[in-house]
Structure 1
Amino acid sequence: MAKAGIVVLLFTVLVAATPPAGLGVSFGPKAVDKWFKHLPHAKEKITKLHFYYQDIVSGKNPTAYQIAQSNFTAKSPTNFGALSVMDHLLTETPDPNSAVVGRGQGTYGFAALDEVGLLMTLNFFFTQGKYNGSTLSVLGRNAYLNKYREMPIVGGTGVFRLARGIATAQTNYFNVTSSNGIVEYNLVVLHYDIK
């Protein structure tokens, strides 16, 4: 009986959290069922996205916070064992005041002993234009101090249901003192075109 109550509560939370209609793709359980019904006839398409991730970890208004660390972290030159949560702005240009296209939300853990290597669990949540309300999920290794990094896109929602692809990251700016940075992202996404 308790399991049934949890399922009903979870379903209620999910339905209540769905974005409003009129965002270019229908949301909600009936819309998803309709979407899957048309999936066998859908064509796969490629979408390329480009934006900047405003990585603010210090100052008056940080958008990332460390939430845990291991007993070893304080002794580690790579911050091994630290875990942080983030909610960074995604902007059209490197300028933090440029148009916001979404949020980069998730967690990252310092998961390498010999270099700064992050395990990223990141959702790109889009808040503007035809992708408004849709997400792309990234799960992978981010060797943050390398100039160029690749991470897999493992899924998505809304326009990007059943998405897969690659996210490439390149540091545009990094302040050694504050550890704040700006990361340029280029995404290539395979997903389905269902009207």
Structure 2
Amino acid sequence: MGKVAMVLLVLYLVVVMQLIHGLVSEDNWLEMGKEKVTHLHFYFHDTVSGKTPSSVRVAQAVGSDKSPTLFGVVMMVDDPLTEGPEPSSKLVGRAQGLYGSAGQEELGLIIAMNFGFTDGMYNGSTLCILGRNPALHPVREMPIVGGTGFFRLARGIAIFKTYWYNATTGDAIVEYNVTAIHY
């Protein structure tokens, strides 16, 4: 047997052993238990102004600044999630991801966001949302498309509404009510 064949055989055995280990490990996906439903309530603080914004513009199209909807603007986000609407309220996690203005005629943000929780029994777990946010509507909803840790294989819905908005700075506080179905 040549050296290349021997290396391939060893790599194959390593992969097979990892697969077998995954099938019998304590973290077995086949033994996750019953589905659970969890309801969460928190506030999302999106700060685009000041010396330390939590949301920054990372890209834009040539005419974005002339568009009434800022069409083509992309923002990168690392926003605090808190228990109450006050910025000084207890921190429960961070929303990290991006949103971009995808509507030419109506303000519609396309959002890809990961809610990483840092408190209590959800510490280290995440929920992921993906979809369109018609930001000027009083109440919006977006799908939960996944999760990790406590929220493994999550699906569900995030219903949210603007709690506070400053039209001059663009800063906002958004109230979230989340229902997640997970294992």
Q: Determine if the TM-score, normalized by the shorter chain, exceeds 0.5.
A: yes
Match of 2:66 among 72, 75, 80: 75
Could you tell me how far apart the structure 1 residues matched to 2:61 and 2:117 are? Answer: 33
Could you tell me how far apart the structure 1 residues matched to 2:105 and 2:55 are? Answer: 23
Q: 2:29 is matched with which residue?
A: 36
State the number of aligned residues.
Answer: 162
Distance 1:121 1:31, change over 3 A: farther
Q: 1:167 is matched with which residue?
A: 158
Q: 1:99 is matched with which residue?
A: 90
CA RMSD of aligned residues (A): 1.6
Aligned partner of 1:48: which letter? H
Identical residues among aligned pairs (%):
52
State the Cα distance separating 1:34 from its structure 2 match: 2.2
Could you tell me how far apart the structure 1 residues matched to 2:143 and 2:78 are? Answer: 20
User: Which protein is bigger by CA-based radius of gyration?
Assistant: 2
Aligned partner of 1:115: which letter? E
Q: 2:80 is matched with which residue?
A: 89
Match of 1:120 among 102, 106, 111: 111
Matched, 1:59 2:88: no
* SS of the residue 2:115 aligns to: strand
State the Cα distance separating 1:156 from its structure 2 match: 0.4
Q: 1:15 is matched with which residue?
A: none
Query: What are the ranges of 5 or more consecutive residues in structure 2 without an aligned counterpart?
Result: 1-21
Aligned partner of 2:28: which letter? W
Distance 1:80 1:146, change over 3 A: same
After TM superposition, which residue ranges in structure 1, 4 or more long, deviate above 4 angstroms? 29-33
Could you tell me how far apart the structure 1 residues matched to 2:60 and 2:141 are? Answer: 26
